[in-house]
Each structure stands twice: as structure tokens, then as C-alpha cells.
């Protein structure tokens, strides 16, 4: 494919720009663009991604306020360099790691994932990141470990929401070890060929696409291996509404609203709601992790 007329990037919307750029890369090779060619992942969806503006302008990040536009307005004050991550618990190589050392050598891929918030809205997000399993292999998980716990930074001077008692800080999340080792589970370092915006969880955040968005703990400063199911922020806050597993499940409603459908951000006023898919559409990959478990009890 060749272009007869030069494309003017300003003529197209970001979503079209994204698709055109992919076609160009395929046709002409990476030499045309300065963007490093990232490995294509078999785990990516073909759904058209949301725009960068949507993904970085409509966020949940209570450290910066509870409004969807608060994180974009307030998160630029967070200093993400230098960044230290504490690795502790049942690991062979515990320590306080400079982020660069901790993730050195882990292959970064693009993963275009569906994202489903527990509040029944969704997006398609082109993350860049590495498989959490690679990091866990590096730090040496001991045989006794059964869970991974994560904590977000506590720095009220730069995270104004932490001066308010909205949640108990630090924000905490956790995964069972088999969930953490699953190839779909990534730590994101960027999106849309850019470093992760602060409001999306810079410098590193968890992404588990078959689970509700609140599992995706942002600005991670601690990774602990344990043999006990870790406490998680939303479960501590309202155990009857937010369980440990948080698997996307249209058959199990939230006590205050249905989970059967979702609103795709950016789809327009008249687009209508979409049916929510069990495990957010990733059932072929992850359903076997929960064989024999009652998912209405283990929500
Ligand atoms: N530290 C921290 N991580 C967090 C949250 C938060 O408030 N604080 N919100 C969660 C929720 S409810 C969602 S839906 C996702 C939103 O991620 P996004 O803003 O990148 O779309 O982040 C999750 N991670
Ligand atoms: Mo969410």
C-alpha cells in the first residue's frame, strides 16, 4: 500500500490516526517513524482503542480526588522519579529496588485490552507493559507463597486525596499467585507509545483485564509475597460490595446496580449499552483458574 497524497495528521481523529499509523508501520516498516516497534501481542483485542484523551481524562484515582476529572487535573504534582519499590515477604531476593533495576530486561509489549470498571463503564486501552510473571521470576517466589500483595505510594504532600479520609491509605490490592503468574497479567509502564500518564498510575500499575478496574493498583511502591489472602482497600471498605477476586461477571450484580451491561466511554450518546462478557471476554484464557469455585460466593 502506498499513499498518493501525504497524510496530514491533523486531518484525522486520534483513533483514525492510531489505525492509520499501524497500517503504515505494516506497509513501510518502522523506519518511517521514530516510534520503536513493539512486539505485537496475541493477547490484544481487535476492538478500536479509546483515544488518549479519553483514557487519560476520565480516571479513578482517589489519591487525587473522587471526580473523574480530578486525577488529570491534580496528578501532575506527583514526582515519579526517583522511584523505589520494596519487595518483601516470601521471596529469595527481597530489598528496596530502584525501579529501573527491578524491571531491567523485562520485555515490554503492547497489549490492547478491554477494561471494565466496577461502575459499569468500559474502555479499550493500548497498554505497554511486561508480564508480572517475569518480575516474579526475577525476585524469586518461594514455594510457600500463595498470594501477591501490592501497595500504592503514600505521599499526602503530592496526593491531596490522602489528606481526606475517603479510603484507608495506602491503597492495597492483591492477587492469588496463579492469577499473578497468568500471562494476561501485566504491569503497565506506558500507553499509546507514551510513558504512563500520572493519572493512569505512573510509573507502574497493575492490569488484570478479566477483573474489575479497581484491581489495577496504581503507583506501586510495594510488592509482597504472602501465604495469607491480602487485605484489599475496597474489600476493607465494603466487603459485601467488593470481593477479593473481582472477576468481571454479568451474572453477579453489585448490590446497588446491575453488572449485566456497560457503557463504553466515548461511544456517543446514542450508542446504547453493551452486554458485559463473563471474565470481560477473557474466559478462554482464565476460566480454568476458577474451576470448581462458586463465583457468586467468591465475587
Ligand atoms: N492507587 C489507586 N489505584 C487505583 C484506584 C485508586 O483510587 N487508587 N482506582 C482503581 C479503579 S476503581 C479503577 S476503575 C482504575 C482506573 O484506572 P484508569 O484511571 O487508568 O482507567 O484504577 C484503579 N486503581
Ligand atoms: Mo473502578
CATH number at residue 181: 3.90.420.10
**Which segments within the chain are labelled E, that is strand?**
39-40, 84-89, 95-98, 109-116, 121-131, 147-152, 172-176, 186-191, 194-195, 205-207, 220-226, 261-264, 274-275
Pairwise CA distance, residues 232 & 296, whole Å? 19
How many H helices and E strands in the chain?
8, 13
Query: CB burial class (10 A; 0-12, 13-18, 19+) of residue 85?
Result: buried
Q: Which residues are CB-contacts of 222 (< 8 A; sequence separation ≥ 6)?
A: 85, 86, 87, 88, 149, 150, 151, 170
**pLDDT tens-digit profile of 217-247?**
999 999 999 999 999 999 999 999 999 999 9
Structural domain boundaries enclosing 131: 9-290
- Asked whether 222 lines ligand 1 (CB < 6 A), one says no
Please indicate, yes or no, if residue 298 is contained in any of the structural domains. Answer: no
CA torsion sign for 162, 166, 170, 173 is: negative
**pLDDT tens-digit profile of 16-51?**
344 444 444 444 444 444 455 677 789 999 999 999
Please indicate, yes or no, if residue 2 is contained in any of the structural domains. Answer: no
Dig out the grid coordinates for 41 from the structure. 501481542
| Ligand nearest to C-alpha 115 | 1
The rounded Å distance from CA 214 to ligand 1 centre is 5
| Ligand nearest to C-alpha 118 | 2
Q: Which residues are CB-contacts of 128 (< 8 A; sequence separation ≥ 6)?
A: 38, 108, 109, 110, 111, 188, 189, 190, 191, 193
Q: Which residues are CB-contacts of 240 (< 8 A; sequence separation ≥ 6)?
A: 255
- Asked whether 60 lines ligand 1 (CB < 6 A), one says yes
Please indicate, yes or no, if residue 88 is contained in any of the structural domains. Answer: yes
Please indicate, yes or no, if residue 128 is contained in any of the structural domains. Answer: yes
Please tell me the total count of domains within the chain. Answer: 1
- Asked whether 217 lines ligand 1 (CB < 6 A), one says yes
Please indicate, yes or no, if residue 68 is contained in any of the structural domains. Answer: yes
Please indicate, yes or no, if residue 143 is contained in any of the structural domains. Answer: yes
- Asked whether 242 lines ligand 1 (CB < 6 A), one says no
**pLDDT tens-digit profile of 83-122?**
999 999 999 999 999 999 999 999 999 999 999 999 999 9
The rounded Å distance from CA 213 to ligand 2 centre is 4
Q: Which helix (H) or strand (E) element contains residue 55?
A: helix 52-57
The rounded Å distance from CA 171 to ligand 1 centre is 10
Dig out the grid coordinates for 297 from the structure. 460466593
- Average per-residue pLDDT in the chain? 90
CB-proximal residues (5 Å) to ion ligand 2: 60, 117-118, 213-214
**pLDDT tens-digit profile of 113-162?**
999 999 999 999 999 999 999 999 999 999 999 999 999 999 999 999 99
pTM: 0.89
- Asked whether 63 lines ligand 1 (CB < 6 A), one says yes
> Of all protein residues, whose CA lies closest to atom 10 belonging to ligand 1?
214
Please indicate, yes or no, if residue 297 is contained in any of the structural domains. Answer: no
Please indicate, yes or no, if residue 3 is contained in any of the structural domains. Answer: no
- Asked whether 152 lines ligand 1 (CB < 6 A), one says yes
- Asked whether 200 lines ligand 1 (CB < 6 A), one says yes
Amino acid at each position: 500500500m502506498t499513499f498518493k497524497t501525504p497524510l496530514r495528521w491533523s486531518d484525522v481523529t486520534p483513533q483514525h490516526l492510531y489505525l492509520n499509523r499501524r497500517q503504515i508501520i505494516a506497509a513501510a516498516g518502522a523506519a518511517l517513524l521514530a516510534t520503536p516497534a513493539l512486539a505485537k501481542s496475541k493477547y490484544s483485542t481487535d476492538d478500536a482503542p479509546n483515544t488518549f484523551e479519553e483514557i487519560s481524562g476520565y480516571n479513578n484515582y482517589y489519591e487525587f480526588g473522587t471526580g473523574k476529572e480530578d486525577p488529570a487535573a491534580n496528578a501532575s504534582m506527583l514526582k515519579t522519579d526517583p522511584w523505589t519499590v520494596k519487595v518483601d515477604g516470601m521471596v529469595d531476593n527481597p530489598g528496596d529496588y530502584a525501579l529501573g533495576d527491578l524491571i531491567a530486561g523485562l520485555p515490554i509489549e503492547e497489549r490492547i485490552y478491554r477494561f471494565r470498571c466496577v461502575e459499569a463503564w468500559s474502555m479499550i486501552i493500548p497498554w505497554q507493559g511486561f508480564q508480572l510473571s517475569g518480575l516474579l521470576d526475577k525476585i524469586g517466589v518461594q514455594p510457600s507463597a500463595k498470594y501477591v500483595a501490592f501497595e500504592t505510594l503514600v505521599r499526602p504532600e503530592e496526593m491531596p486525596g490522602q489528606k481526606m479520609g475517603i479510603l484507608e491509605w495506602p491503597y492495597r490490592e492483591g492477587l492469588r499467585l496463579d492469577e499473578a503468574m497468568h500471562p494476561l497479567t501485566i504491569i503497565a509502564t506506558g500507553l499509546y507509545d507514551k510513558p504512563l500518564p500520572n493519572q493512569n498510575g505512573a510509573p507502574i500499575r497493575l492490569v488484570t483485564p478479566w477483573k474489575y478496574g479497581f484491581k489495577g493498583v496504581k503507583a506501586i511502591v510495594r510488592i509482597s509475597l504472602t501465604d495469607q489472602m491480602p487485605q484489599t482497600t475496597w474489600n476493607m471498605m465494603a466487603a459485601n460490595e467488593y470481593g477479593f477476586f473481582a472477576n468481571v461477571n454479568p451474572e453477579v450484580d453489585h448490590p446497588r446496580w446491575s453488572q449485566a451491561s456497560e457503557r463504553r466511554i466515548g461511544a456517543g450518546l446514542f450508542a446504547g449499552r453493551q452486554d458485559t462478557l463473563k471474565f470481560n471476554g477473557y474466559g478462554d484464557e482464565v476460566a480454568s483458574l476458577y474451576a470448581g469455585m462458586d463465583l457468586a460466593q467468591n465475587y
